[in-house]
Structure 1
Amino acid sequence: MSERDLGRLKIIEDIEAQRLSVVQGAELAGISRRQMTRLVRAFRDNGAAGLISGKRGKPSNRRYTDGYRDYVLELVRLHYADFGPTFALEKLAEDHDITVSKQTLRKWMTDAGIWKTRKERRSRVYQPRNRRDCFGELIQIDGSHHWWFEDRGPKAALLVYVDDATSKLVHLWFAESENAFDYFHSTKDYLSEYGKPLAFYSDKHAVFRTTHVSNKDATTGMTQFGRALHELNIDIICANSPQAKGRVERANKTLQDRLVKELRLRNISSIKDANAYMSEFMADYNARFGKAPRNDKDMHRPFSEHDSLDGAMCHKEFRTLSHTLTLRYDKVLFIIEPSDFTTGLARKRVTICDYPDGRLEIQYDGVTLPYRTFDKVQSVNRAEVVENKRLGPALDMIAAMQAEREVSRSQSAPRRTGQTGHMF
């Protein structure tokens, strides 16, 4: 008997002993007088056992049949074996027109060994931090390396931008690796759509932070990405631990679950196709998991007249022009075309702008200078006279020499995704 039944038994015994009336007993038990009368009658007929419901221990009349349960579990095993109950239920409703309660599916999956309860999973402790008040006040940014396409494609990095106030995804971009050029490209797209946030919040990846810091010059020791944000008057804050930027870390965990499966269901196996699908995925994700900010104000700022988004989001290095108007970059000699303007630039400091799309510009005080190149690595020897029968071996030797020149590029120069050497 349950504790409730034992309490009712004590009340009924007092009624039978005339220490309580039926009305008083009903009030103590919290039931109606009519119900108490039925319980007293059942006690007189069958004793204490009469207080126990005859339906106890028997299956509900509204329960699903075993065949229906097995059918649902078979669909889950076949299509959604690594889905959580909530996500699996959404897909069962969308694709198979199956509607059961979330708790019912959770129990079925737990009993079948498909899903583990929270107690069975290892718990993690994260230190709490209040959200920011406004949208665009703080954007958490991170790169997630994962087998996003499973065995259908290569391992890739997903650059994730999450608003701290709302937990909404503001930008997603797939790249082959997590490097400065891909962050330039994706950040440029995000800034073009929303404007400038107050600050980015990142980890201590080499793209965001360097240990070579000077107290004399605020820009000395900045990474290329940090310098680009500084030019646009955007701050970047580096977290001391992954738990500190838990918003984007938890988003990464959700993406590695849901996004992988969405890509699988759509048979997407390339970075190009995945990037084309990101806007649709973000809209659905934000509708499900986005939160309303405490303050409706949008803290994104418009670009000012002196801001140059394209000019900031590039790799910049500085060189001093020689008396002959030349400079070296990545083992290539750049020769500035002489003119009335460039002739006076000898011994002047110029800026080399290496863009993510492969363009390279040499600028002085914002003016782009025309140039031509002389590649010392690809210096040409005097052509050799080769007989027809020796043409095959000669071509083989030329191919080997070209391959050697290709890998002799400077290893310290910036590299884009998949780039083996600069082409000018």
Structure 2
Amino acid sequence: MKEETKYNIIKKLVDTNGNKQRAAISLGCTVRHINRLIKGYKEHGKEFFVHGNKGRKPVHTLDDSTKQLIVDLYRTKYEGSNLTHYSELLSKFEDINVSPSTIRNILAKSFILSPKAKKTTKKNLTNHLKELKKSAKTNKEINFIQNTLINIEDAHPRRSRAAYSGEILQMDASVHNWFGITKSHLHIAVDDATGTIVGAYFDAQETLNGYYNVLHQILTTYGIPYKFLTDRRTVFEYKQKKSPSIEEDTFTQFGYACKQLGIEIQTSSIAQAKGRVERMFQTLQSRLPIEFRLAGICTIEQANEFLNSYIKEFNDQFALQIDNIKSVFETQPDIEKINLILAVIAERKIDNGSCIKYKNEYYIPTNSHGIAVHYHKGISGLVINSFDNQLYISIKDQVYSLKLIPKHSISSKNFDFIETPKVPKKKYIPPMNHPWKQSSFNEYCKRQAHRQKLIA
């Protein structure tokens, strides 16, 4: 347009022998430059006003084949990744160094938006596609446009971060096709002050085991936090009304474990109240499946192993520097205490053989010297399955180890040569102040049941 304007003004000036001062004002230049333009017009005509770079591509312009490769890779190998992550992946695996803004422009021409595109951007593209759909002439074009139309989603509002690291940890689980065709649940805890993922664990369902593993990572790596913020669909502080036994009442067990550690639990039915962990899931859902696919991850065990290194790299890239933020994590408990606190418990009664049945196996209580302890039939106790899979039983606030009774004897004293037995090694038995005392736990359950009635 500038070239056309210059040509018309100079042509009119020469044809009418007009005022050079007025022409200079119109073009924003000097009279001396007007004389140069007049001379060029007389010698070369309209071609003089055409810029020398017209029709020539800049040196740094990507060729069409590279642009098409970027589009094809995003639709196949790196499908679903956000554009910043996609730029990193292209540089790391494909040796294509382009900025996220360049990728955005290339993909936009193929009607592909970032998973994190704003509402206005999605709305503008939707309106544009609707206009194109009206003017489309073939069914193929109509179907392509229809499949490209994007649904508009609302964003979560922001809120201030906590002042100190360890003050509030937002905890939740997300079900997603993280790898393979079967959905699984990723349990994570995010520090509200720094945005650091302090614990992450995959499980087939949203389970007590998943949250216990996250809490174990927090306790062994950082220490005891002040508060957990969860949502009420996975609340950990009341006894389920229809729970037939303590063993299935996993929520109360997590709440009691937190009580022993002095961790508060705050719940909310509003997802935006824990927006930090919700947005973290959005980021992980756009990144982790791509990373899993590239690493060949296809099982939960492989995924949990992969998380050990990936979460550290993720925090180094995205979390705030903790150097400038004070930490209020308390000192880590010793590993034996952690294993006992993060235990799954179940009520059992002594049968007429002085044993209890647990997971279709029979066990007999023994003391620290391996000597069997006998109780009358009907005496109840709490079976404690510790985090490191050691089995104990608490009877009248006395703790014993549980010894498995095999269905068949390992050897025969009549037909097998049996060496003189060695002195058995003294087995560790938790002290009297162990966390899962039957009386204190029962009292806790009663208080939680009473609190639930008041809420209802």
Q: Structure 1-normalised TM-score? A: 0.66
> How far does residue 102 in structure 1 lie from its aligned partner after superposition?
2.3
Q: CA deviation at 1:313?
A: 0.7
- Corresponding position of 1:355: 386
Q: Which amino acid aligns with 2:393?
A: I
Counterpart contact for 1:133–1:294, Cα < 8 Å = no
Q: Of 103, 106, 114, which aligns to 1:105?
A: 103
Q: CA deviation at 1:239?
A: 2.2
Preserved CA contact (<8 Å) 2:208 2:251 = no
Are 1:84 and 2:82 counterparts?
Answer: yes
Alpha carbons 2:173, 2:206 under 8 Å: kept = yes
Instruction: Assess if the C-alpha contact under 8 Å between 2:339 and 2:387 holds in 1.
Output: no
Matched residue type, 1:67: S
2:157 aligned to which of 107, 127, 150: 127
> For residue 281 of structure 1, what is the aligned residue in structure 2?
310
Once residues 277 and 389 of structure 2 are traced to their aligned partners in structure 1, the CA distance between those partners, rounded to angstroms, is 30
For residue 218 of structure 2, the aligned residue among 190, 200, 206 is: 190
Given the alignment of the two structures, is residue 268 of structure 1 paired with residue 268 of structure 2, yes or no? no
1:353 to 1:102, Cα distance in 2 relative to 1, 3 A: same
Identify the structure with the greater helix proportion. Answer: 2
Greater RCO, CA 8 A, separation 6+: 1
Change (3 A) 1:309 1:107: same
CA contact (8 A) 2:169 2:225 kept: yes
SS in 2 for 1:205: helix
Counterpart of 2:193 in structure 1 is: 165
**Aligned equivalents of 1:242 and 1:261: distance in 2?**
26
SS at match of 1:150: coil
Aligned-pair identity (%): 24
- The 2-side partners of 1:221 and 1:97 are apart by 49
* Aligned counterpart in structure 2 of residue 68 of structure 1, from 66, 69, 92: 66
Partners of 1:287 and 1:335 in 2: how far apart?
Answer: 49
What are the ranges of 5 or more consecutive residues in structure 2 without an aligned counterpart? 14-18, 123-149, 242-248, 408-456
Cα distance in 2 for residues equivalent to 1:292 and 1:69 = 37
Q: Quick check: 1:85–1:109 contact (8 Å CA) kept in 2?
A: no
Q: Counterparts of 1:127 and 1:105 in 2: how far apart (Å)?
A: 28
Question: Distance in 1 between the 2:259 and 2:155 partners?
Answer: 35
Match of 1:146 in 2: 176
Q: Give me the whole-angstrom Cα distance separating, in 2, the residues matched to 1:19 and 1:234.
A: 80
Aligned twin of 1:201: 229
Flag the 1:322–1:108 CA change in 2: closer, same or farther, 3 A: closer
Deviation at 1:303, TM superposition (A): 3.7
Counterpart secondary structure, 2:326: strand
* Cα distance in structure 2, aligned partners of 1:74 and 1:327: 62
- Where 1:208 maps in the other structure, the secondary structure is coil
TM-score (norm 2): 0.62
| Amino acid of the structure 2 residue aligned with 1:360 | L
Q: 1:101 to 1:315 in 2, by over 3 A?
A: closer
Equivalent position of 2:33 in the other structure:
38
1:83 partner amino acid: S
Distance 1:52 1:123 in 2: 49
**What is the match of residue 412 of structure 1?**
none
Alignment CA distance shift 1:281-1:37 (3 Å) = farther
Residue equivalent to 2:94: 96
Q: How do residues 3-14 of structure 1 correspond to structure 2 at under 5 angstroms?
A: none
Aligned residues: 351
Once the 2 structures are TM-superposed, how far is the Cα of residue 224 of structure 1 from its aligned partner? Answer: 0.8
The residue that corresponds to 1:384 in the other structure is none
Question: Take 1:269 and 1:125, find their aligned partners in 2: how far apart are those partners?
Answer: 31
Alpha-carbon RMSD across the aligned residues, in angstroms, is 4.7
Q: Residue 179 of structure 1: which of 207, 213, 216 is its match?
A: 207
Gaps in structure 1 of 5+ consecutive residues: 214-219, 379-424
8 Å CA contact 1:150, 1:260 repeated in 2: no
Q: For residues 20-40 of structure 1, what are the alpha-carbon distances to aligned partners after superposition, in whole Å with 9 as ceiling and x for unaligned?
A: 9x8xx79x97xxx77x85368
For 1:296, which of 325, 336, 344 is the aligned residue? 325
1:419 corresponding residue in structure 2: none
